[in-house]
Amino acid sequence: MDYSQAPKIELHLHLDCSLSYEVVKKIKPSVTIEEFRESFIAPPKCTDLVDYIKRAVKGYELMQTPEQLKLVTLDLFRQLKADNVIYAEIRFAPLLHTEQGLTGTEIVSIVNEAADEGIRTYGVEAGLILATLRHYTPEQSMQTAELVRQFKGTHVVGFDIAGDEAGFPIDNHIRAFEYARANGLHCTAHAGEACGANSVWGTLEHFKPTRIGHGVRSAEDPALLEHLKKHDIHLEVCPTSNVQTNVCNTIEDHPADKIYNAGVSMSINCDARTVSPITLTHEYQVMEKIFHWDKAHFLRCNLEGIRHSFATEEVKEKVRKIITKYYL
């Protein structure tokens, strides 16, 4: 089936890992297509997650001024529209964009305003998730969580932690997640990607998110799968990315189908539209080809995605109607 026209939900998408060649050329005209492929796109097989993340550096280096941040944000909305994504949650770490003197508040305000323009221009509903990073200090994590609180009620909808899961423990960030929950902020957290099921258990215990970014290594522990199902924790699954970062050896080894059949709430996502040079249409076609998924699978994943999204009830209902009408 051609899924290009199918309406889609995307909950796990990194802004600084999704710069198209067109927007890179606008910001830095000297970049050739060869340099873009070499520096911005990860190979089909990276050594590990850290190797994959290196490609994000080129992205956020070009996102240091108000104009650059706006261009990149609007370009991603254009990509989402072309992929028929009708609701997306776009995440980024504000503190990565302070190299030319912008403050965290200024950065979030610029991206928030650009998202507002993107929603109006392209008709793609969207929220923004602000991420702290594993190697950050407790103070940097608190600063990021405070930005989520400060912008509550705008397009900023949640708090996340990303980065080198294997290299840094969770201790520095527990207080920030406690602060986020105390202030009624939605939380998701990367886990179960570079590390195994124990990382997911620890993240659930200390951060208490309602969603896990990736979380695919939960499949290694039947008790964890049962816990996720019982407590309605949603997994933001990104198949191609997981192969690139060596979480799985091949796409045939990916546990997405096992997680789905275990009854765990999950969605299919890109993670990065440049570092992993893919679309959500591509990911749907992969799931269809390798695991024989059909419209029923994508109906459930999209309905679970919007149910676990950090959108308003009004947006959820609007999106739910579109999804149900198409897939049923």
CA distance 137 to 11: 26
Give me 161's structure tokens.
């932690």
- 135 closest CA partner among 49, 62, 69, 248: 49
Catalytic hit among 10, 146, 193, 283:
193
Whole-number Å distance between alpha carbons of 17 and 14: 5
Packing angle of the helix pair 197-207, 174-182 (nearest 10 deg): 50
Nearest to 87 by CA among 284, 240, 302: 302
d(CA 235, CA 188): 9
Spatial strand order in the sheet of 234-237: 8-14, 85-92, 125-133, 156-162, 186-191, 211-214, 234-237, 266-268
Non-local (6+) Cβ contacts of 130 within 8 A are 91, 92, 93, 94, 108, 144, 147, 148, 151, 156, 158, 159, 160
With a CB cutoff of 8 Å and minimum separation 6, the contacts of 218 are 192, 197, 200, 212, 224, 225, 228, 235, 259, 264
| Inter-residue contact 13 to 89 (CB < 8 Å) | yes
Displacement of CA 13 from its chain's centroid (Å): 3
| Residue 139: both structure tokens together | 């103070």
Catalytic (active site) residue 193: yes
How long is the chain? 328
- Structure tokens given for 127: 């929220």
Other Cβ atoms within 10 Å of 153 Cβ, number: 7
Q: Which residues are catalytic?
A: 193
